[in-house]
């Protein structure tokens, strides 16, 4: 877990300090420097338009982490709301909300996202929203299960007898005790969101050039794979390392939660 947190922290620092870390304008075109190999002037070489790959990778870190964080935030907020409502109210509300989650889970997530993005158009905001709004079902089921196991506990029954409202009980008693598995799920989900964004950008329907993201840097480099390895290895390696860091952190948190749970 420590390695995962350290990697994520390092990536976050790079993203925050991108204007100072990047040695050049990531969108500056210099055709005379096209496909220059890595050197002291261009640490990761240049692409077909002479743009500095290292600078584009640094700014791509901002995009990829932002998409992952915002998408997971949307999915977690929606999942907590639906799961807590279904678990606490029970009855018809529980049945309707969980059947909705089951229906959405029947659709392959990637194809559902592709269909929605193709309909509303690709942009950073749309990608964040679509990934978030198609990924809340697992969190909802997790929160519902936790709420069902907690709502009959003595401290919840005591709050009811004292006249506490349902919303107050959920916010003050149930959700704080159900957050541990949600945090683990969100950490793992961030890696999935970054992977999906990278895949969409690689297919040309995600973050659109000239805005750099690891996925579209990889997409632009595929045509020069035989002569410019530096257009493939850095973005592919960054995607792999980030997803690995998310999973190391998530699995570490899960193990610690089980140990102390």
Render each residue's pLDDT in the chain as its tens digit; 261 residues. Answer: 678 889 999 999 999 999 999 999 898 889 888 888 998 888 999 999 899 999 999 999 998 899 889 999 999 999 999 998 888 888 888 899 999 998 888 877 777 788 887 788 778 888 888 889 888 998 999 999 888 888 777 777 777 777 777 777 777 778 887 788 888 889 888 999 999 889 888 888 888 888 889 998 998 888 887 788 889 999 999 999 999 999 888 888 877 766 655
Give the number of other CB atoms < 10 A from CB of residue 145.
14
- Here the contacts of 24-32 (C-beta below 8 Å, separation 24 or greater) are 24/51, 24/52, 24/55, 25/52, 25/55, 26/51, 26/52, 26/55, 26/56, 26/58, 26/59, 26/210, 26/212, 27/51, 27/210, 27/212, 28/52
Q: What backbone phi and psi angles, to 5 degrees, belong to 52? A: -70, 120
Whether residue 125 contacts residue 138, with contact meaning beta carbons closer than 8 Å, is answered with no
Alpha-carbon distance 142 to 152, whole Å? 17
pLDDT of residue 60: 92
Whether residue 145 contacts residue 87, with contact meaning beta carbons closer than 8 Å, is answered with yes
Alpha-carbon distance 16 to 64, whole Å? 12
Residue 231's nearest CA partner among 57, 41, 40 is 57
Question: In a 10 Å sphere around its CB, with 0-12 CB exposed, 13-18 middle and 19+ buried, how is residue 229 labelled?
Answer: middle
Whether residue 70 contacts residue 132, with contact meaning beta carbons closer than 8 Å, is answered with yes
pLDDT of residue 251: 84
Residue 121's nearest CA partner among 16, 233, 200, 228 is 200
pLDDT of residue 259: 63
Whether residue 216 contacts residue 201, with contact meaning beta carbons closer than 8 Å, is answered with yes
Parse the chain into domains and list their residue ranges.
68-260
pLDDT of residue 261: 55
Domain at 68-260: CATH architecture: Orthogonal Bundle (1.10)
């Amino acid at each position: 877990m420590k390695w995962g947190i350290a990697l994520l922290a390092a990536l976050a620092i790079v993203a925050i300090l991108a204007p100072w870390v990047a040695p050049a304008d990531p969108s500056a075109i210099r055709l005379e420097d096209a496909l220059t190999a890595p050197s002291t002037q261009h640490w990761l070489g240049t692409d077909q338009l002479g743009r500095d790959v290292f600078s584009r990778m640094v700014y791509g870190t901002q995009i990829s982490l932002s998409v992952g964080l915002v998408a997971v935030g949307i999915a977690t907020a929606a999942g907590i709301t639906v799961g807590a409502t279904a678990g606490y109210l029970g009855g018809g509300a529980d049945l309707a909300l969980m059947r909705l989650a089951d229906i959405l889970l029947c659709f392959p997530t990637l194809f559902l996202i592709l269909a929605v993005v193709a309909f509303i158009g690709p942009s950073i905001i749309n990608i964040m929203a679509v990934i978030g709004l198609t990924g809340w079902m697992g969190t909802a089921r997790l929160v519902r299960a936790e709420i069902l196991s907690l709502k009959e506990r003595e401290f919840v029954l005591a709050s009811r007898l004292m006249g506490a409202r349902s919303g107050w009980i959920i916010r003050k008693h149930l959700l704080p005790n159900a957050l541990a598995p949600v945090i683990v799920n969100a950490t793992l989900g961030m890696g999935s969101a970054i992977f999906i964004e990278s895949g969409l950008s690689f297919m040309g329907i995600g973050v659109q050039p000239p805005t750099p993201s690891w996925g579209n840097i990889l997409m632009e480099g595929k045509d020069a794979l035989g002569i410019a390895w530096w257009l493939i290895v850095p973005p592919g390696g960054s995607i792999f390392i980030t997803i690995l860091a998310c999973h190391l952190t998530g699995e570490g948190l899960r193990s610690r939660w089980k140990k102390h749970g």
